[in-house]
Amino acid sequence: METDLENSATLGNIVFEEKINKSGSSGEESRAFIQINKGENQSHIKQEEDSSKLPSPNKKDVPTILIKEHQIESAKAKMGEVKEENERLKLLLSQIVKDYQSLQMRFLYILQQEEAKKSTKAAPSHQENEESDIISLSLGRNSGSEPKKEKKNISSNLVSNGKEDEKPNGNEGLTLGLECKFDPPGSTEVEKNPSSETSLGKPEEEEPTEVCQPSKILKTVRNRDEEDASEQMQLKKARVSVRARCDTPTMNDGCQWRKYGQKIAKGNPRPRAYYRCTVAPTCPVRKQVQRCAEDMSILITTYEGNHNHPLPLSAKAMASTTSAAASVLQSQSSSSQPGLGTSVSAPSTSTSSAANLHGLNFNFAQNSRPYQFYFPNSSISTCNSHPTITLDLTAPANYSYFSRFSNVPRCSSTCLNFSSSPSSSLEGFNPQTSWNTSHLTFGAFPNHKNSFIGSLNILGRQPPQQHLYQSCMQMTNPTRTHQQSLSETITAATKAITSNPNLIRSALAAALTSFVGNGGGVPRGNHSGSEGKWGESLRQKTAHPAAVENEVGCASSYIGKCSCMNPHQQQPKQGSLLLFPTSLPFPTSKSASDPPPPNNSNHIK
DNA sequence: CGCATTTGACCGGCGC
DNA sequence: GCGCCGGTCAAATGCG
């Protein structure tokens, strides 16, 4: 704009007018009108030329020339003033942004401090506020060897943590007990979890140690479950469901999973597979994989819990996403239940997720205005046994998804709709042109009292954030190829997540990294969920965008650049972030028992 | 032989 | 109290 002004000034015969103050000047052959809207810090230049009134240079009207020169000088002077004003406005804006960010950080810090205080009161031994509710459930677990073996070998006193997951490992309870103030000194061998730094129990969940025979462990644990059921109910509830188009049996989220069960759930002919994370023996994270009953091409993966161990980047991405999403639920539930105020973040997953969880700053409004979330109910009711947040990464937005997907009567559902506008074709998505604007929307669940609806315009009017994400997005520019750029992307996204307290944005960033690739992942071929193929596949696609359309099966996902809005959202067009729905390049899992892709041969057991 | 998967049984929560 | 359902366990089975 300034450049335009300067250029215009050099042309001469130009009169600059501030529309507000000086509109209506006349008598000039050639004019440029500058409309300045200081409030918006935006200006538009209109140029008008009236050739019929152009003075002839040959005319001997010298005074006219002098006047014009004078006018030019005047115009230049005004232009300078405008520039100065523009600079002032910029400075002011930047200052405001800085202040805002500073306040935001302070607020987050205060929140974290408060959380820390609560945790300290409840359980002095635990310092991390970021412990997720689900992780709390995993208390008492150790990195010990196979649960069965330990269970058999343990004759010593055991500390039950009240978690079913821990039943097999009597030692686990002991381990937890050590960290727990209630842990008896005489407790037997305690195995330090390799990832113990991340395994922390919440005060509420910690329980006095109990001595029991190995054979009785299970019952003891369950009894304690009953005793603490009320406390743990919520903690167990938070879930994050990811909907993605995937022809492969399972999504490769970078983690290693072991299947421990399969059931045919009511209302869905496809079996639901149950997996637990095997990256660490004590990891409490579990996931359910099921095909969408109405669209078999959609794979629904529901995560519960947070990893208590280091994860590869690819796994971190998903974990961060799920943690961040879960934090939404947590934040809401926390408001309704002070006792559950501890954070939801995954300790081991990354500092980013942890930081984000407490940083949930949502500007709620009564209107679905851009940049604001509308929560008809400010919190998810704790009565809901399974509050679930859904990340919908499937094809074109169809809000019927939400209603049918949230069909669990007692569950409140939160949906992050990553679906694109109907016009955007997943397969036709061109990554090269897809990276500027994103739009994160929240689907409404009219049928659920605890649902919330809203939309977030992430970039819109927040230049710093925009820069942040642009930096991330630029790294993913297909022109920059391969693993390095992907790695950078992941790193940038991680930074973005870390630095930005906004939960949704963090989730978004994490989601981005999830789909960008699994750099750094160390897949284990022996585990069903250990593939790194999809990340690799995506890298290839990124390097060769043209090939994307030709991909069969799980297509790559990209965040698209789109100047238009999601039709379902009546939001401003500018600067909105739009996440295109995508099929995910999840590799095929070794597990033959996983719900088979709709198009593929299905063998359901 | 070790490990992962399969699959029937079991348990607990919830609704009627 | 009973039955349904989701979730988990653990023995059986399969595979490398």
Distance of alpha carbon A436 from alpha carbon A414, whole angstroms: 26
- Angle at Cα A359 formed by Cα A106 and Cα A338, nearest 5°? 100
* Three-state secondary structure call for residue A135: helix
Task: Please count the helices (runs of H) and the strands (runs of E) in chain A.
Answer: 14, 12
Place of tokens 């609560």: A118
User: C-alpha A454: how far from its chain's center?
Assistant: 15
Q: What is the pTM of this model?
A: 0.42
pLDDT block averages, 10 residues each, chain A of length 605: 38 36 38 38 38 42 73 84 82 75 71 62 39 34 36 36 35 34 35 36 34 36 40 57 81 84 87 89 86 84 84 76 69 44 35 33 33 32 59 57 38 43 34 32 36 32 36 36 40 42 44 40 37 37 35 34 35 33 39 40 35
Nucleotides of strand B within 7 Å of the protein's CB atoms = 3-9, 11-15
pLDDT tens by residue, A80-131: 888 888 888 888 777 776 777 777 777 676 766 666 655 544 443 333 333 3
Regarding beta strands A413-417 and A388-392, do their DSSP bridges make them parallel or antiparallel, or are they unpaired?
parallel
The reported pLDDT for the residue numbered A581 is: 36
Between the CA of residue A566 and those of A243, A390, A443, A465, A533, what are the distances in Å?
Answer: 19, 18, 12, 21, 31
CB A193 within 8 A of CB A199: yes
Neighbours of A16 (CB within 10 A): 25
CB A490 within 8 A of CB A313: yes
**Across all residues in chain A, what is the average pLDDT?**
48
Neighbours of A92 (CB within 10 A): 11
Residues with CB under 7 A from strand B: A 146, 222, 225-226, 229, 233, 257-263, 273, 278, 385, 409-410, 526-528, 590-594, 605
Enumerate residues 6+ apart whose C-beta is below 8 A from A225.
A162, A163, A164, A232
Which residue has the least CA–C1' distance to nucleotide C8?
Answer: A261
Largest CA distance in chain A: 114
CA of A434 to C1' of C2 (A): 57
Distance of alpha carbon A382 from alpha carbon A529, whole angstroms: 32
Q: Can you read off the two tokens belonging to residue A178?
A: 């050590």
| Strand segments (E) across A465-541 | none
CB A210 within 8 A of CB A222: no
A146 CB-to-strand C distance under 7 Å? no
Under CATH, what is the fold of the domain A232-331+374-393? N-terminal domain of TfIIb (2.20.25)
CA of A257 to C1' of C15 (A): 18
pLDDT tens by residue, A156-170: 333 333 333 333 333
CA of A276 to C1' of B2 (A): 20
Which phi and psi angles does A38 have, rounded to 5°?
A: -65, -35
Distance of alpha carbon A538 from alpha carbon A505, whole angstroms: 22
Query: How does DSSP classify residue A454?
Result: E
Q: H or E stretch including A172? A: helix A170-179
Distance of alpha carbon A166 from alpha carbon A169, whole angstroms: 5
Residue A360 exposed, middle or buried by CB count within 10 Å (0-12, 13-18, 19+) = buried
Between the CA of residue A434 and those of A478, A554, A560, A561, A569, what are the distances in Å?
Answer: 10, 19, 3, 3, 19
Q: Can you read off the two tokens belonging to residue A57?
A: 């240079």
DSSP string, A223-242: HHHHHHHHHHHHHHH-EEEE
Place of tokens 């809207």: A37
Sign of CA dihedral A204, A205, A207, A209: negative
- For chain A, first and last CA: distance in Å? 66
Nucleotide nearest the Cα atom of A226 (by C1'): B12
Residue A83 exposed, middle or buried by CB count within 10 Å (0-12, 13-18, 19+) = middle
CB A255 within 8 A of CB A307: yes
Residue A222 exposed, middle or buried by CB count within 10 Å (0-12, 13-18, 19+) = middle
pLDDT tens by residue, A187-237: 333 333 333 333 333 333 333 333 333 333 333 333 443 344 444 444 445
The reported pLDDT for the residue numbered A329 is: 64
The reported pLDDT for the residue numbered A259 is: 92
The letter for the amino acid at A341 is: G
CA of A172 to C1' of B2 (A): 23
Distance of alpha carbon A53 from alpha carbon A197, whole angstroms: 80
Distance of alpha carbon A234 from alpha carbon A387, whole angstroms: 9
Nucleotides of strand C within 7 Å of the protein's CB atoms = 4-11
CA of A410 to C1' of B14 (A): 10
Partners of residue A392 on adjacent β-strands: A243, A417
Which residue has the least CA–C1' distance to nucleotide B4?
Answer: A258
Nucleotide nearest the Cα atom of A266 (by C1'): C5
